[in-house]
Structure 1
Amino acid sequence: MTDDDITRSRHAVVIGGGIAGVTAALRLADAGVRVTLLESRPRLGGLAFSFRRGDLTVDNGQHVYLRCCTAYRWFLDRIDGARLAPVQDRLDVPVLDAAAKGGPRLGRLRRTALPVPLHLAASLAGYAHLSLKERAGVARAALALKRLDPADPALDGIDFATWLGRHGQSRRAVAALWDLVGVATLNARSPEASMGLAAMVFKTGLLSEPGAADIGWAHVPLGELHDTLARKALDAAGVRTELSTRVRGISRPADGRWQVDAAGEQLDADTVVLAVAQREAHALLPDGALADRDRLLDIGTAPILNVHVVYDRRVLRRPFFAALGTPVQWVFDRTEASGLKDGQYLALSQSAAQNEIDEPVAALRSRFLPELERLLPAARGAAVRDFFVTRERTATFAPAPGVGRLRPDAHTRAPGLYLAGAWTATGWPATMEGAVRSGFSAAGAALLALGRHHEHPLKEAA
């Protein structure tokens, strides 16, 4: 029997059909392993999905990625979806200050083709929302941040706000720049964010390569990518995918193979990848699989609220913008992607939404519609055809100081059992990029244990 025959005789079960689980399943199948993917929901995609509301196709939340997100870009290529989620030619973020005298004031964060850090120099020099002194202070802090090692455990123990304060950042500079970016990428404000994760975001996104922070987003519903195309790729790779299938338990009898109890069916497996949220992983992990399984329960969660507004006319000419001086954070035009034929559909993405996540729809409507009218004069005469909210109370793990020591890597103490998910030790915050990287790690560890040669898909990790 050849090595290929031996590998094909191996069976891997991946539990969880989010981006991490789909990635792990594809990597294992591409290496010749027989794979079964089990997902409790009736769809793939995890927390990045779409649903129908009347004639609209709605994303549960606005998800973006950056050019530096090489793992997620691999994922898009692997499912043949890159053309449907293009990246800006160059970073360009309109920022509206609703509190400016005389009405909303526009500033822009954009780059040039100059090398780092000069690629942002012109934008910072002309950034309307900071004084000349504050702009100079931001530049000094950025240079100090560039010298940091995000993997330094000492950085994980302090919060981002403390570091910013030590480097002379004013309250306005924090709001108009550091938190503007950090809240959206970390899902936490600077006092609640690990300095290690903040350093990783800013150093990688803004201070690694000129185009690293160019923004990409899906121009189609997320479900078309993470469910439809992902399922097509899994089918083509020979993965058996079972939806609406909840795993009740996993065990390892004396013969050394794993048994997965999946809603009336018992699956035998040589390898199991547990690609579910940390609390679900805690419930499924066998005793002794981690040195301290209860540490998973100490990894907190953070919510994201999305506010959806359908107007009877076009009120926004840009594809998106960020906002200051208002409860509104980021606003995206989802008209074309949703299938809306008349009027305009805007989605407001509200990260770190602990104070809003449980508010009634009526209260959110009273808060956000007047704010949109402040920011967008064209909205003042427009009729609101629909207003609704989507709430993800556990959208991400909380990137609090100290979270780094709680995040396990892909390996467990149980041979053949691996962990995947954005909450594992990827070095990234809870993003689609982190989810894909965790899938790489889990599949790579499994293939190594199976004696299957493989190459990491990212050159930087080779």
Structure 2
Amino acid sequence: MHAPDLPSQSAIVIGGGLAGTTAALVLAEAGLVVTLVEARPRLGGLAFSFKRGELTVDNGQHVFLRCCTAYQWFVDRIGARDLVVLQERLQVPVKDAASGRTGTIGRVGLPVPLHLAPSLVRYPHLSFGERLSVGRAALALRGLDLHDPALDGTDFGSWLTAHGQSSRAVEALWDLVGVATLNAAAGDCSLGLAAMVFKTGLLSEPGAADIGWASGPLGQLHNDRARTALDAAGVRTILRGRATEIARSDRAWQVTIETAPGRREGLTADIVVTALPQRETHGILPDGALPDPDQLLRIDDAPIVNVHVVYDTRVLDVPFLAVVGSPIQWIFDRTQASGLTGGGQYVALSQSAAQEDVNLPVAELRARYVPEIARVLPCARGAGILDFFVTRERSATFAPTPGVGALRPGPATRLPGLFLAGAWTATGWPATMESAVRSGLGAAREVLTTLELPFGSDVLPTP
């Protein structure tokens, strides 16, 4: 099929998260006339900020790794490199709440896998025998073929047990990393996705796992800078526009959006890219788009809870701290990013795989976590609490359960001109910002291939 003249090529992207914003930018740069439709009053999807008094609060703590090349391309593309920081070298302090001892997971200037060996040898939260066992399991993990479909149907926890990992090793090392990146404990996670995370992040390049995060509010990145980039690319952005129907008519696609109760608008384009969560996608896909559309409903969701505490004095002396031997998983210093001034410190607990916490009242979460923070951080024991609140994302990510890989569709559908994007699609990555951007790139590449247009340039990462 030969592409029509550029002025007649048009696309509607439904969803203004990272996936949709990425697709819209790439398609606009290729010469398409692009309209981006987002139901919320902002861009950014589930990586956003809001105001609470004088604070600018991120809904949850989001990090990326040096190996997240697509997300870093996105940051550069929207002109937001000044709003992120990236470790020069991996350093993760890990404290055992029971013993009070702190160790560090870090790397040295040696080739893989020796780059992690010194920190593993000195890691105080495992016995000498457990450390040796971890090394053997890591080598076995490195040897797995990520393209082997059998990995998708196996759970990571069983694989770790079969490779001699004690429950303590799983808690103090494998789940320390895995729960934060996969949003599931090892026993609930596909071996395929877990192997991808550990091989890519820890066992590929020495610096692959160096950690990055936003130095300012997420809204500055994913809404403000993204909107500026979209405007500059010529994308028409419609906020507060909820897509209610996608239909095909006379070679063109028609998308009906609701911009206010009872007020609907029809949009027409040659191409439609849906970049919505899997259940919303299922609800809007026209008949015939997928062989089995109900497979999207079998991709479960997993929650994340963030506990936010503002103290009247400093309680944490590092940017972040991982914790074992406690319900607390990770603690982050949010003081500077939130704009807190006048002394004190704002910390946030990021609690992944939070099925037990997600529906608890705030008072119960306060009773559970404030004493735990004091147990982990001695400076918090006499500190006053100026504010305490909780943010919850019940559908923060798709659940990386065994078999989920077979349920994740690619960007193309059976209907010409209709494409899918979203972190839950078949990117090979778990539900991360990297996966979202890669899905947008993948959808854009499929569109441009269909239209026989070139896909980006040498600096544009291949999804």
- Shorter-chain TM-score bucket reads over 0.9
**Quick one: distance in 2 between partners of 1:389 and 1:461?**
37
Gaps of 5+ in 1: none
SS at match of 1:232: helix
Q: 1:460–1:247: structure 2 CA closer, same or farther, 3 Å change rule?
A: closer
Tell me the secondary structure at the aligned position of residue 102 of structure 2.
strand
Q: How does 1:313-462 map to 2 (within 5 A)?
A: 313-341=313-341, 342-455=343-456, 461=462
Structure-2 separation of matches of 1:460 and 1:42: 29
Which position in structure 2 is the counterpart of 1:47? 46
TM-aligned CA distance change 1:188 to 1:273, over 3 Å: same
Distance in 2 (alpha carbons) for counterparts of 1:354 and 1:454: 41
Contact 2:441 2:462 in 1 (8 A): no
Task: Map 1:44-83; keep pairs closer than 5 Å.
Answer: 44-83=43-82
Q: Which string of whole-angstrom CA distances, capped at 9 and with x for unpartnered residues, describes residues 224-283 of structure 1?
A: 000000000000000000000011101002x11100111221111100000000000001
Q: How many residues align?
A: 456
Counterpart Cα distance in 2 of 1:397 and 1:224: 25
Tell me by how many angstroms 1:7 deviates: 2.2
CA distance in 1 between partners of 2:315 and 2:348 (Å): 13
Aligned equivalents of 1:440, 1:461: Cα separation in 2: 7
Asked if structure 2 preserves the Cα contact closer than 8 Å seen for 1:444 and 1:456, the reply is no
Q: CA deviation at 1:152?
A: 1.3
C-alpha distance in 1 between matches for 2:148 and 2:83: 37
Query: Is this contact kept in 1: 2:28–2:234, CA < 8 A?
Result: yes
- The residue aligned with 1:260 is 255
Partner of 1:252: helix, strand, or coil?
strand
> Which range is displaced more, 259-268 or 85-94?
259-268
| 1:212 corresponds to 2:211 | no
Q: Which residue of 2 aligns with 1:114?
A: 110
Distance between the aligned counterparts of 1:162 and 1:321, measured in 2? 28
Alignment of 1:217-366 (within 5 A): 217-253=213-249, 255-263=250-258, 264-341=264-341, 342-366=343-367
Counterpart in the other structure of 1:189 = 185
The residue identity in structure 1 corresponding to 2:92 is V
CA distance in 2, matches of 1:110, 1:435: 27
1:102-141 CA distance string (max 9 Å, x none): xx11010000111101100101000010111000000000
- CA deviations on 1:353-409 (whole Å, 9 max, x unpaired) are 001100000000001000010111110110000000000000000000000000000
State the shift of 1:83 in Å.
Answer: 2.2
Q: CA–CA distance in 1 between the matches of 2:266 and 2:375?
A: 58
8 Å CA contact retained: 2:70, 2:461: no
**Where in structure 1 do 4 or more consecutive aligned residues deviate above 3 Å?**
455-462
CA displacement 1:277-335 (0-9 Å, x = unmatched)? 00000011001100000000000000000000000011111000000010000000000
CA–CA distance in structure 1, aligned partners of residues 179 and 24 of structure 2: 31
Show the 5 A alignment for 1:123-202: 123-202=119-198
Percent of residue pairs bearing the same amino acid type: 65
Q: Give the unaligned 5+ runs of structure 2.
A: 259-263
**TM-score (structure 1 length as normaliser):** 0.97
For residues 9 and 461 of structure 1, do their structure 2 counterparts lie closer, same or farther at Cα, with a shift above 3 Å needed?
A: same
